Every structure is written in structure tokens, then in C-alpha cells.
Structure 1
Amino acid sequence: MSSKVSQPICDGYRFDQFEVRIRAGLLLRDGKRIKMEELPFQLLLVLLETPGEIVSKETLHRRLWGDRIFGELDNGLQVATGKLREALGERAGTARHIETVRRRGYRFIGQVEPLFLSPPETPAAPGEASADSAPPPGSESPATPELREAGRLSRLRSKPAFAISLVSFLVLAVAALFFYQHLRKRSAIGSALVVLAGFTNESGDDSYNGLGLAFQVKLEESPYLNLVSEQKFLRQVPEPATASLQQLLRGCTSLGGKVLITGQILGQPPGYEIRTYARSCSNGSLLTSQTVKAQGRDMVLAALDQAADEMRKDLGEPDASRQRFNMPLAQATTSSLAALRAFTLGEEKRANGQEFEAIHDYKLAIDLDPQFALAYARLGTIYSNAAETTQSAEQFKKAFDLRERTTDRERLYIAAHFYSISGQTQRTIEAYELWLSLYSRDDLPNNNLAIEYLDLGEPEKALGFARTSAKLDSASSLSEAVLARAELETGEQAQLQSLCNDVQGRQGDSAMLHESCFLLAFLGKDDIAMQKQIQWSRGKAAESELLDDVAWVAMYQGKLSSGRSLFAQARQAALAQGFAELAATIEVDEALLEADFGYPREAQTLSIDALRLAPESVGIRASAALALGRSGNIALAELEAAKAAAEAPLNTILNEAQLPSIHAAIQLQKHAPQAAIQILEPVRPYDKCSALNLAPAYYRGLAFQAAGDPGHAAVEFRSVLAHHALMPDSPYIPLAALQLGKVLRQLGDSTGAASADRQVQDAWEHADPGFLPLRKSLNSKESIP
């Protein structure tokens, strides 16, 4: 029988002066490598598979991003195409290789030749092994990497191309050598750290004090420049406007920067003059400078646009990139210099950890320019951090409606936050992933992905993103705070302790960081360290958040009287700051604990008051419904749960975790534990979500216990105890230990029961004498709290 010759596998393509090598992940032009990111390279491969044919947008989305749909973020395809055209040297308005077919997709135009770099093999006869045959899966040899099919999106980074040898340089003419070295120096700017050292106002007119922020927005818009964060530089040079050039250069060098950028506006009657400079951090030599004149006030932002664009060009950013990422400042920010100045003041406060104090400045910016999309977005972020979700959603809806008035980066910021505040967890994560694919050196999407995973109760996933964010911007108080929380929840106590020691007496920290340090001190039973964190919050806008944590600790310890007093103080502090929804959140926090401790009257009173304080909040409605269900007001619980479901049909945590928990609580009140078990079974993936404080597994344990199944009840109670690091002050931890001791005694496990009892005794060592769960325990009552 004759052997069948296998079909050759395409190793690459050739068109015009270009060559594509699939296995190496390379695009060559006249034999020289062209740097290209993974996404546009994969886009090129897909188009080269069927030259001359239209590839639909839907097909490209599926091939490049899988089955995920980004909705409003579909411009990611446009960006990837822009970067591909840039690599191929196509100018705007021309289509030598990549043609856009309006409303349909893209196609490759021109002749394409497939490449078969290795000859096709004739398979060995049965039972024989070829010396060159591929190794079995999992045993890949470094010398024979696995072939990738053309157009297949690999999740692995392409292997780096070999560097050009020194010998090849020696045969080049001196002029050519100089030319290529110049190109290499220009292209290296994109990977080098660039420090923006400030923009000074020397015009004599204070209304131009916000131009530094506008200049920063223009430079941040570029995915080509690797900008060091402003906060990081300010730690090196606190007053850049008055610092000498040598001080600025030293600050740049200390951060590993290669390029120092500064700017200024001067009064040049009858107009103004914008000057920008880029210098080498190592020796201060001038790399490039721009001078642009503005004939009047209404031309200043346009002049700054031009200066920033010329700066980006001179630093080597390709034309295609500058054309794609070049939103006019008046549209990307605001045409009102007064609004820009107010926004700048808010940014300065926010960078120093005073985000609540910045609310007034952002509101003023909006009053001066109601079309200021980014100002709405900043307010939305602050209200979200303050648990004012209703106000946050309102602000992000306004920003989302105005998102076309922003740069691509800020548009991603707005869209991702809009999805997050509306509870669309998967779309939020996808939005941040897309953001990372376009701006891979940006700390914000890393930081916010960490927050999303913390909310889901997946701190191990969060930790990696948090560390990356903190590394990219070590000066960010928010990145530091998110990393602290991730370290707390993953049990990285030594690293967190080091961070907490470092922040003592430091200004500009966020409340979230001090909350983590407070909980770490609680775990270590360090009362002095706990008091230091409480003292830090005194008189600050964040005081209510710390007081809420102190109240949870008191409840954990069974100090009911103290806990109630602290919750009242936290609620009052929130109201004093004008945060009604935060005050309502504090009330439903207490209401849930009162219900599960066995105080139904107090729970119902607090729940109804919380609904009065924040009548439009879906989150308050859901939490109040849970407390009402646990405390026996079934009719009102069902009513509020139905309203919440109707108002937020896309909210993941609400629909997948909170509403089932409410319905299970109602079934427990109706003495139908099997129904409660069935309702809670699908909630397991969300057992650890931050919104429920470890309650779902505890409720499931109660249901199994009531159903006469102590074995499964023990599994659920142990699950609560196993995840105590997610919320170290959750009273569900000692409550679960209490019930675990009971069911283990039923199972005849006296040793395990004694261990659980010791956990309860340790937690409630200083509990109030009349604390109901403790009293029931001492009286050996088996009733469910």
C-alpha cells in the first residue's frame, strides 16, 4: 500500500515587501523585524487566511476575543486595526493592504503567497518512528516548538526574535549605521519610562492653573508612551513647579525614567505661548521642544493640543497612533478653563487620599460645564467608594451618556465603571481586560480587576492584579489599599504588617488601607494598633467607615451594647457628611446581625429606617429584605425582594446570591428547610462574595441542621470558618462555630465539638452577660438563632 503524503502546514505568508512568520510571531519588512503587539498580529493572520474576502466583525470578535461581547467597547477592533495599519505603514485614508468594508468588516487586499518553510513530511510506516516526528503532547522539546495553525489566537506570548549579530553591523556603511541607530533610539522611547514633571503657569492668570492636567490627559491618551504616575513623581519632588531643573532630573532618574517632560504657558500679548520640553533624565540634554502660539484665550487649549501632538511625534509615536488617539482637549475634558481648574483641585485632593473632600470641586466643575464627562465619572467613583451606589449610578449614567466627549482611555474608564456600578460583573471584567489589551502599562485596570475579584470573594485572583497595579504605580494610595486588602484576605499577614508599619503618621492614605490595618491588628489582638487606626479616622470624612468596622468587631465579640452604640455613631458620622445611603448601609449591617443574633424587633426597626433613608437604593432594598426575612416579617421581605429584582435584572450578585438568600431565609421562617437547601444550592459560587459577609454557607448549615442532617450542616459551618480571612470580623464566624459544636456532638465527635466550643469562648470571652446567643449556648438550647 502506498503511503499518503500529508498536506503541508502553512508556516507564514508573504505579500509585497512583508513576510509573516507564524511560529515565531514575527512580521518582517525587507527582512527587518517590525514590532507589533499580539492582538493586531493575530488580526493580520485571520485576514491573511482568506485574502480578498470580507471577514465580518462578528467573526473577528470571535477569533480575537472568543465568544465574549464587549458591547459599547467594540471600538477595540477599530483600535487593533489601527495598530495593524500603523505596523504596515499605511497612512490615514489609504488602504494598501487592509480595507474597511463599512458596516460589514475588513478584508486583506493584494496578492498573498503562503510560505512552507519546512518541506512536507512522509509519515513513517506503522510501527516506525521518525527522527523528526513531533513529540507527544506535554513533552514538547525547546528545539521543536509546537506549530500554531494560521489565524489561531494563541494565549502565549510570541517567542522573541534573535537579535541582529554584531557582525552584521560591521558590514553596514557608516551612514546606514547612524540611520538605524537613530531609528532604534526613537522606537525605544515607547518602552522607556517617561516622567511628566509638571506644567507651570507663568501667564499671570490663575485661570490657567488647570492646564497641567489637560497636558497630562493628552499624554496619557497615547498607548505608546510609558508614563510614570504623577503621584509617584510628587513623592520624589513634592513641589515641581518651584524645583530646579537638577532636582527634576534627579527625581526622574531615581524613578528609572529616561525622558523628562515639562511645559509652561506664558503671556505674550496679545495672546499666549505654550512651550513644552523633553529632556534626557541622565544628563538633561534637550531631546525636543515645541513652541506654539495662541492668539487669544479661546485658542489656548487648541495650542496645547498641537504642542502635545508634536511632542508625541518627536518622541517617536507613529502617525497612525497619533491620529487614532488624538481627541481634542476641549472635547476630551472641557472648553471651560474655570471648570478645568476646579477639576484639577479635585484631582489633587483625590491623589492625596482626600476623595470625599474633592466632591465639592468636581461638582463645581460640572456646574461650570455640564458636559464635563470625566467630572461626572470621578463623582461616580467617589460615591461608589462611599457606598452611595444610587448617587454613583446616577453620575456614571451621565458620564456614560457623554462618553464620546472623552479620550479612548477615559471612555474605557467610564464604561467599565458604569458596568460595575450596575452590577454586571462579567461585562465589567471584560471591559477591564479590553482596557489592558490597549493600555498594557496602565495600573487602573489592574487595580479595578483586583477590586472586582475581591467583591466576588476570589482574593487569590485579586492579589496578582493588585501587585501589578502597585508595581506600576507604587505612589497610588488606592493601589496600596487594594493590595493591603488582597494581602489580608489571602493571609499574607507579614507583608501587610510591613505596609501598616510604614503608613503610621503618613498623609494621603485611603480609608480602605487603614481598615485592613485595623482588621490585621484585630486578628493579632493588638488593641494599641487598633486604636491607632481608629485615631487616624477622627475628624476625617472616612470616620464613619472605620467606626462601622469597629462596630462589627464589637458584634463579633458579643459586645452587643457597645456594638449598637458604635453603629449609631457610624451612622451619625455618615449623615453628617451627607452620605444617607452609607448611613442606611450601616443600619442594614446592624439589622442583619440583630436578626441572626435573635433580636427580631430591633432588626425590623433598623431595616425599615434604612429603607426610609435610601428609598431608591437597590442594594439597601435587598439587604433590608434579607434582615426582614430572617426576623420574621415575611410579607415586607417578599415585597422588597420583588422590587429589587425588578429594578436590577442585570445585577449579578443581587440575582445570583442575595435574592436566593432572601428566599431561603423566608423558607427557614416557614419551617421549610429542604426548600431553603434547594434554593441555596446554586448560590455556592457566590458564597464568599463580600456583599453577604459569609452568610450563605451559614444559612445553608442552619437549613441542614433544621432538616436533621448534622453531617452536611457541619460541612457548611466548617466552610464559614475556613474562609474567615475574607472577613475576619464577621460575626457569622463565632455563630458558625457555635452551631458546629452542636452538630458535632450529635455526630459523636466530642473532640471536634470541644474545639469549636473553644473558638466560641475565645470570641465571646468578654461578651455582654445578656448576649442572647451566648445565653442560649450556656442554657444548652438547640434552637437556631
Structure 2
Amino acid sequence: MNDAHRPDADGPQLRTLLLTDLCDSTTLVERIGDGPAAELFREHDRLVLALQQRWRGRLIDRSDGLLLLFERPIDGLGFALDYARGLREIGAARKFELKARAGLHVGEVLTWRNSDEAVKVGAKPVEVEGLAKPMAGRLMATARPGQILLSAVAEPLAHRAARELGERGQQLLWKSHGRWRFKGVPEPQEIYEVGEPGIAPLRAPPNGPKAWRDIPLWRRPAALAAEVAVLAMIGTGAWFATRPQPAIAFNQRDWVVVGDLRNLTGQNVLDDSLEQAFRISLEQSRYVNVLSDLKARDTLQRMQRQPDTTLDRAIASEIALRDGARAVILPTVAEVGGRVRVSAEVIDPHTQTTVYAESADGHGKESTLASIDSVTAGLREKLGEAMKSIERDSEPLPKVATKNLDALRAYALGLKAYGERRQAEALRYFDQAIALDPEFALAYLGALRVHVGDADNRRAQPYLEKAVALRSHLAPRDALYLDAWSSEYGPQPALRAPAQWKLLAGLYPDYYAGHYNYAWAAFAANRFGETLSFAKAATAPQNPLRSSAIELMGRAQLAQGDAKAALASFEQGEKVGRYGPNRRRAAALATLRRFDEAQALLAKLPTDSSTDGLTNNLERIAVAVDRGRWGEAEKAAQRAERDAVAGTPVLANQFALIRLMVDALNGRPPRTQVLATLCRKSAEQAGDEADPLRNEQAFVALSAAYLAQREGDAAVARQLLPVLEPLVKRIGDPLLAQLLTVVQAGQLRLDGKPEEAIRLLRPLLRGDELFQVHSALRAAYAAAGQDEDALAEARWLAQHRGRAYIETGGSQVLQTLNVADTTLALREQARSLARLGRDAEAQRQDEAFRRAWPQSGSSPPVPPMPLARASAPSSPVSKQ
């Protein structure tokens, strides 16, 4: 008979439920009689109908009480407040009290429509079921007459929207009645009361058989002895028994999305400042990971929404689902009864329901930072973090940020501009924050990042020094981040900085700056296995700069000889980062000998005198050399040398040396005096300890001496080694020390002591050696007549084309020689094989060499590399 349609196809829906009960209605009917009672209830029904229309409510059930559904908690609250006032007026007109108790809750419900036949025989038109319904019923039954009780889910939602009620919303009184236990509900629930002065009771509800206050142990003397005995039996398991269990499956290192702060105070200075303060406070946790605002905005763009879209409940939940975050946190600040309230809700992104809420009140906007600390600590505990951890990893916001809200707002705007790559604007905001609070350490750190990102290390230095002086004003994670940057600028950075980045990555495994920067340090030190491991960790979806980590993975793969995987990584990085192909992809294509594609790509890249425009010439020159197109290589090298004069001093020296390398490969060895002058100039600039690029200058100086040695000229190194040796020791870069050993070994070889050169070079073969270590060792083996070993080194050189292109030592100043040596190694294999009497193999290698570098027309022959002061031994394949 009471057959019903199936529940709505959409399944459970999030709704606000309001249950009311007209107090003592039966006694009232008996007292005033049936006729007056009927008139009273008709007036009551007119009131309900009017309020339904005003507050957009849907009446589901009615008798002595009401069950209504609303889209929003503020609508349900508006109905309850007007209903309480209306009953008061109806009762006053008849000279008796008329009150109702009310319970307001937000949760999921199922609704369906009964059949017409069932409605005709008395069934309700619409049915509502779900766990939210009995919860609202428990609240209503617990309330005193005239009292409106709200659940912990409904209160912050209604509270943050109270301004929509107009002036009355500002006068409402809000009160927490603590944690209560309800029959049939396993976890204690915090309940709140809201009402108008003079109407609401604002007293704790009475205990009853279905609802009672969750009183702490120390307030239950009768049960204390028994409970102490139970606790003693539980022993070490007590913590697990009493630990608050999260309503969502939140685990250590899970991610949260912080939505945009809703500011209901009308004070605009709080908009950006408090949202940033909330992030800073929450990010101190090692238990909870906060998705960066930069990453959230990036995901917004992938959702094809504008970057300034408000991160409300729905949008933030979608971002959380896309980026693998477990929860959404929505912060609010409002003025309530002359006090400033900071509150936050924890949202389950799958259902968009509120599972937790925390709030804290204070006087004036200056109290908001302390309130934020209190709220974030409460949220962390509810998400499962141990109190000891919260106390250990939390510092007050005024200490780790600033107590000046204007400075905090400027800092927040600076971060936003930095995330949108508006570097100059970001720097202005950071400087403004510093002007407002000269002890704002995070602002100095922000300005430091801007200058480092622009490769302007000299301007970065003062900000670094000030940040170091204010290190105690930083949270532990930010202090470690500062330590790592400080080591980059201090003495022997190549030795000290990697350890600091690795420490940061180990202590904060989901703070990707540590992983990426250690991966880069490992790459710069030729430790490609470690590079791959740490760069891969930084490619997590939550990393806003994951495209850079993906590209770094590609560089490591190329260095390890997997050019196809590298090419795929470069393409993926471009897609994720939404940027076009760059010179690293060209290097991978050239490694695979897809030269036409590489050159077509390089032709599209900038050719101006900016740092990027100049460094694009590295691959232009190297690819032309790799193809044996000497005219193209020479023109590219000459143009790069000319344009680099407008760049930094180190770029000017690098391209001057690379042009000399091309000349040498092209059969025109540079004069001793030219190389000596360049070597001395670079060494002098490397001697400036304040120059953060002194390492690159020292690489140029040693490379110039090495180029002279390759042409059989020992004079340059002989003149300048006494200057270069102590310089390299002071700088402390392991790869620079390797290059010094290569030059020292070259002097021994040219002095007719190849065996000593071999003994000097062999210990460098640890897997992280420079490409040119193998080239120098091959020459030493050949000079010593050890042809089998020379052949092995030549084969190594020919097989490691990817490493030749991508090795970054000295900002790739040796790239042109490296790439040339992968082809010259074919000729040197032919020579070694001929000396060993393996003529057929020698002939095949000679033909491979000629195919790689066809000697025709305007292309002069590549001269043989001298093996010692004397001429190299002749061989059939040396005739070209």
C-alpha cells in the first residue's frame, strides 16, 4: 500500500536538517480548549508557511514538531530564529509562553517521493532518511525550551554566513556547550547554541537518558578508582585507546588543500594576511602536508578556470581530488559579539561534508594570529597528530612570521606575484614587507629566491646575510632551507651545500625543494644515479615545480645513456610545465643522431644576449661540431662570442674559449699567448671570493690550459698551474679538482711521463668522473703504448654521447670538446686496433669515423691529437 518510488538517482545529498518540537503542546490544548487551540495552530501554520517561503525551506513532516530541509545552514538558522520570535509573539498575544526546542545539523540524506496512492491514504509526499536525521533529532530532544542547538558541523557554516542575517546577525550570541555523548552515536559530539539576547536560554542542556555531557575523569569521583584500575591494565595501550580518531582516513604525510579565507570582518588587511598566516602555522607540521597555493592555482588552470577563482568548498574539493589531497580546510574570520573569531572546517572532498571544525575568539585584529595558532593546533590533533609532536613542531606566528598584519599581507602578495612569475613585482612586495617589519625573516628569504631565480647572486647576498642573522625567527623547516642556501654562498659550496639539501629532504620528505636541490647538486657532481632517485621524488603531483624535476630526470637519463627515456622525460616536462621545447631536448635528439630535428628545434630558440639566449648557443655549436659542419660551428661560435660580451663576465670567457675550441678542431690551433691570457683572466676573476660564479671562472681557466695541452702546448699550464692549484683547493669543488688532475696529468704526458699520468688519473674512475678524464686517460695509455687500454677508453668515449652533451661541469664549457671526442674516439679506436694488428676492425672504425665527419670541399681535415711532444706514430688510417 505504501509503495514508494526509488530514492533519487543522484544518491545521497548534503542538506541542512532542522527539527523542532513545540514544547508542552498537549498540556496547552488541555488548558485552553479545542477551539482556541485550533485557532492557535492555524496561526502557527501561517507562520510556518511564511517562514518557509522566506528561508527557502522544504517541509517534510509535521505534527507537534517540524522537519524541514534547507540548502544552506544559514537558511535553517534564519528559519529557527524567526520561528522562535514568532512563537514568542503568538504566545504573548494570548498571555502565555509558547516555545519550541530546535536542532540544526548538516549531513547526507536520501529523499524519495511516495506514490500518489500512498499519499492518498495518509503517507507523506516526501520521505527523508539518513544518519543525519537521528543526529538532528538527538540535538532537538536535548535542547531546553526555546533553545536552538547546532552540531559541530553546522555551527561554523552558519557562523561564517551570519552576516547575511543583517544587523541581527551581528547581535547573535554563540556558545559552545562542550562535548556530549548521544545514545547510538559512538563518538562524542560538540554542540553549540545560538540565539538572540533575551530570547535564547544560553544555558547548558540537562543530561538525559539519550544525551549526556562527556565529563572528564577528574570530574567523576565515584568512578575514578575503577577507571584508574582499567587504565593501569591497559598500560602502554592507553594512548591508542584515547587518541582521537579522525572521521576521514587521514594518515601522516597526507595532503590538505587550504581554501580561500572568508573574511566577514570588513577589514581588507585581513584578506591575504590571515590566509598566509594560516598556511605558515599549518606548514610547521611534519604530520600534515599543505598543498601550495602555487600548485592549487596551477590545477585551477588545468581545470580551465581563471587563476583568481575563489577556492570555496566545491572548487577546493575538486582540486583535492585531482591532486591526491585527503582533506580540504576552509578558514573563516568574523566578528561575533565584539570579538574576532577565527574558525576552520575540515572537509571530506569526496562528499564535501564538514567532518571537523575548530574556532578561537580574541579581542581585536591583533588577536587573530594567536587564534590561528590555536585553531591549527586543534585541527592537527583531530587529524591524528600527537600532541607532543604539535608542541615540538609549533612556534607562535609572531615569532616565525611577523606580528605586523600589513607586512604579512605584503609578503602574501609577494608570494602570489612570485608564483605567477612576476619577479619584479614580487620583489617590491617583499621589500615593502621588510620596510614594515625589518625583522621579518621570511620576507628576506622571499627576496633571496627572486634574485637567485634571476641568477643575480650579488644582489641576493645582502638578503641572505640578513635572513641568516634572523634565523631564530624562522620555523624549523624554513631555517633548514635557509641553511642550505647559506651553504651555497659560503666557502666550498660544492662540498657543503649537498649535505644541507639532503638533510632537508630527509627531515621533510614532502617539501620538494630539498629533493630537487639535492638532485641538482648530485647532477652537478656527476652522481647521476642519485640525481634520478631524488628528482623522481620531486615529481610528485603535489609539487608545483614538478616539471623542473621531470626535466632533471631527463638530464640524468641522458647522462646514463638512455636517450629515448630522456627525450620522453623532456617532452613530459614541457607538457606539465606548459613550456616549449628547449636545448636539452635538442641534445637528446642529437645524441640519437636525429640532427635535422635537433637543428630545427634550436633554430626556434631565442638568440638574444640574455642568459637563456646565449646558452642556447652551446647546443648550436655542439650539434654543428657533431655533424662535422665546421663552417656552421665557426659562425655560431663567433656570433656567440660577440653576443656574450653583453652578458656576464663568465659567459664572455666561456664563449671566448669555446670559439678557440672550434678553431682547434677546425685545424687552426690557438696561439699560446691567446690561451694564456684567457686562462690568467679567468683565474683572476675566480680569485674573487665574493663572486658566487668563481667556480665557473676556474673551470674556464683550467679548460684553457687543457685545450693548449691537447694541441701539444705545455707552456700555458706550466705558467699558470702555480696559481690554479691553490685556487682550486680553496674553492673545493670535486669536479674542479678532477679537471686540475686532468691538467696535471697532461703535463706529465707531454713531459714524456705517461705512466705517471695514468697513475694520477686512474683513481678518478669512480663513476662520477668528468668525461674528459677518459679522454685524457686514453691519450696517456696511447702515449705509454698500452693500446688495449687506450682502445677501451676510446670505446667508452664513443658510447657515452648523452653524457658528452649533458654533463654540466663548469656550466658546460667542455661540451664542445666532449661531443667532438665521441667522434674522434672512432678514429682513435682505428689507430689502436691497427697497432694491435686488427686491421679489419680498424678499417671499419675508420669508415665509421669518415661517415660521421665526411671530409669534403670546404671542411678542413681534423688534425690528429698529439700523444706527446714528439709526433704521433704513423698508421694507415691516419691518412685522410
Please confirm whether the aligned pair reaches a TM-score higher than 0.5, indicating the same fold.
yes
Aligned mate of 2:759, from 660, 674, 678: 678
Structure-2 separation of matches of 1:180 and 1:697:
64
CA spacing shift, 1:483–1:645, aligned 2, 3 Å: closer
Which residue number in structure 2 is paired with residue 736 of structure 1?
825
Could you say which residue in structure 1 is the equivalent of 2:124? none
What is the alpha-carbon distance in structure 1 between the residues aligned to residue 341 and residue 644 of structure 2? 47
What does the per-residue CA deviation read over 1:101-156, in whole Å, with 9 as the maximum and x for residues that have no partner?
Answer: xxxxxxxxxxxxxxxxxxxxxxxxxxxxxxxxxxxxxxxxxxxxxxxxxxxxxxxx
5 Å matches for 1:355-754?
371=439, 373-374=441-442, 399-419=467-487, 422-423=491-492, 428-471=497-540, 473=542, 475=544, 476-502=546-572, 509=579, 514-524=582-592, 525=594, 527-528=596-597, 530-532=599-601, 535=604, 537=606, 542-560=612-630, 562-563=632-633, 565-567=635-637, 579-587=648-656, 598-600=669-671, 603-604=675-676, 606-608=678-680, 610=682, 616=688, 617-630=693-706, 631=708, 632-634=715-717, 636-645=719-728, 647-648=730-731, 650-655=732-737, 657-685=738-766, 688=769, 692=770, 694-728=771-805, 730-731=818-819, 732-754=821-843
2:582 counterpart SS class: helix
Per-residue CA deviations over 1:21-64 (Å, capped at 9, x if unaligned) read xxxxxxxxxxxxxxxxxxxxxxxxxxxxxxxxxxxxxxxxxxxx
When structure 1 is superposed on structure 2, of 436-445 and 416-425 the one drifting more is 416-425
Paired with 1:573 and 1:268, the residues of 2 have a C-alpha distance of: 64
CA contact (8 A) 1:356 1:541 kept: no
Q: 1:595–1:603: 8 Å Cα contact kept in structure 2?
A: no
Letter in 1 for 2:298: R
Matched to 1:663, the amino acid is Q
- SS state at 1:183 partner: coil
TM-score, normalised to structure 2, is 0.58
Q: Deviations over 1:527-576 (max 9, x none)?
A: 34654466355678633333333333334444455445545655677776
Give, in whole Å, the separation in 2 of the partners of 1:353 and 1:748: 62
Give the CA deviation at 1:470.
Answer: 0.9
Point out which structure has higher relative CO (alpha carbons under 8 A, 6+ apart): 1
**Residue 320 of structure 1: CA displacement?**
1.5
Question: Given that residues 196 and 227 in structure 1 are in contact (C-alpha distance below 8 angstroms), is that contact kept between their aligned partners in structure 2?
Answer: yes
State whether residues 590 and 606 of structure 1, in contact with CA within 8 Å, keep that contact through their aligned partners in structure 2.
no
1:198–1:241: 8 Å Cα contact kept in structure 2?
A: no
Map residues 265-304 of structure 1 onto 2, 5 A cutoff.
274-291=342-359, 301-304=369-372
What is the CA–CA distance in structure 1 between the aligned matches of 2:339 and 2:654, rounded to whole Å? 53
- The 8 Å contact of residues 288 and 314 in structure 1, kept in 2 or not, is answered as yes
Distance of aligned partners of 1:504 and 1:589 in 2 relative to their CA distance in 1, 3 Å threshold: same
Question: In the alignment, is the contact (CA less than 8 A) between 2:535 and 2:553 conserved in 1?
Answer: yes
Amino acid at match of 2:620: V
Code of the residue aligned with 1:465 in structure 2: it is F
Using a 3 Å threshold, how does the CA distance of structure 1 residues 496 and 725 change in structure 2: closer, same or farther? closer
Q: Distance in 1 between matches of 2:340 and 2:636?
A: 57
Q: Which has the larger radius of gyration?
A: 2
Q: How many Å apart are 1:607 and its aligned residue?
A: 4.2
Q: How does 1:10-409 map to 2 (within 5 A)?
A: 183=245, 185=247, 188-199=250-261, 205=268, 209=272, 211-238=274-301, 239=307, 241-263=309-331, 274-291=342-359, 301-334=369-402, 344=412, 347-348=415-416, 351=419, 371=439, 373-374=441-442, 399-409=467-477
Q: Which amino acid aligns with 2:834?
A: R
Distance in 2 (alpha carbons) for counterparts of 1:573 and 1:345: 37
Residues 441 and 425 from structure 1, CA distance in 2 versus in 1: closer, same or farther, beyond 3 angstroms? same
Partner letter of residue 703 of structure 1?
A
Residues in 2 aligned to 1:268 and 1:574: alpha-carbon distance in whole angstroms: 63
Distance 1:526 1:356, change over 3 A: farther
| Residues 192, 385 of structure 1: alpha-carbon distance in 2 compared, 3 angstrom cutoff | closer
Is the CA contact (8 Å cut-off) linking 2:758 and 2:780 kept in structure 1?
A: yes
Give, as a single letter, the amino acid of the residue that structure 1 aligns with 2:736. Answer: L
TM-aligned CA distance change 1:387 to 1:234, over 3 Å: closer
CA separation in 2, counterparts of 1:289 and 1:470?
33
Once the two structures are overlaid, the 10-residue window that deviates more, 319-328 or 299-308, is 299-308
Question: What SS does the corresponding residue of 1:549 show, helix, strand or coil?
Answer: helix
TM-score of the pair, normalised by structure 1? 0.64
AA aligned to 2:790 is A
Identity %: 20
Q: Is the 8 A contact 1:420 1:428 kept in 2?
A: yes
Partners of 2:384 and 2:716 lie apart in 1 by 67
Is the 8 Å Cα contact of residues 199 and 212 (structure 1) preserved in structure 2?
Answer: yes
Contact 2:334 2:340 in 1 (8 A): yes
Structure 1 residues 629, 528: closer, same or farther in 2, change over 3 A? closer
Cα contact 2:745–2:758 (8 A) shared by 1: yes
Structure 1 position 362, deviation (Å): 5.9
Contact 1:197 1:248 in 2 (8 A): yes
One-letter amino acid of the structure 1 residue matched with residue 250 of structure 2 = A
Residues 70-94 of structure 1: per-residue CA shift (max 9 Å, x gap)? xxxxxxxxxxxxxxxxxxxxxxxxx
Offset at residue 448 of structure 1 (A): 3.0
State the Cα deviation string for residues 590-613 of structure 1 (Å, max 9, x = none).
Answer: 566666774345544544555577
Q: How many residues matched? A: 598
Secondary structure of 2:384 counterpart: coil
